[in-house]
Structure 1
């Protein structure tokens, strides 16, 4: 039985995005050419423009795909059964440590890797970054509010402000981990997070 063309098209487009995400997470946006991505994905160069009008359009789609997956994964962690919200949030930051380090992150640290670089290159990509990070912060804020209501954590400020501060703390820690080639910034971030949320 033949594969429907729409399914085939979707698979090829997704493979280009997946390969691009892995390569750009390792090398950055500007340092990676389309030829490298397409050769790795096994897609002819001429086919690229069937899916994306330009490299910037590809970058925009890449970030949208990244955040779609990231937010879905975050929703799963924040809904883990048999855990209170403090435990779910602790699990989220433990996953962050595992996936955002200076080792090969397999594309899972894309926002940290590309954030500063592409925000100045493309307004469209900056807008995707802003929407994506706002989505993360909003989810963390709702989780913190739930944790306060259930009594598993305490905060001294409005939940959204705490969520924003903690997200910025962990993004900064991710950058410092890459600079220092050490996991110590994550240990410091976790200690500060525990204090901010009154975690045991």
Structure 2
């Protein structure tokens, strides 16, 4: 049973679950409203010409992160890895939240698809490595063109925590509710082998 479907004393698990979602949506809406107001201040421009060329540039420079990688390769690859990782893992996050609403929720071609499960674990590990490299640059090499700020380190820490949380959730699920697709989650299984010595209650608490 997922945490949102349990009771914590007199507090139902769904209450903090939906409360946090509501807060997140409010903050998201506030940020979007700021960005929309900024966009509306701009000069109107024709953006619907050369659609194939524009789409190609989106694929190359936005999805492919070609400009970053083509510049300073290793820092560019680090940023691109984090970006690609979030694209892959956001799909899993949507399913994760959906299961908080109803345990039968699933998105097509995700949790039961070996290709996605391999990509999910691969990018979780890759993003952790990229965050480590980013922290190394900020704390050790300190390139002159890099703006050093506490906020940057906090963001890296949050990204690291998100990846570890995702892998830990997979590991605990593997221990508590094994599935036929578990062999494809190589990172989750590796972490599950570490958690295997913990009492069942401790694994459920994680």
TM bucket (normalised to shorter chain) is 0.3 to 0.5
Bigger radius of gyration, 1 or 2? 2
Structure-2-length-normalised TM-score: 0.34
Structure-1-length-normalised TM-score: 0.35
Higher RCO, 1 vs 2 (CA within 8 Å, ≥6 residues apart): 1
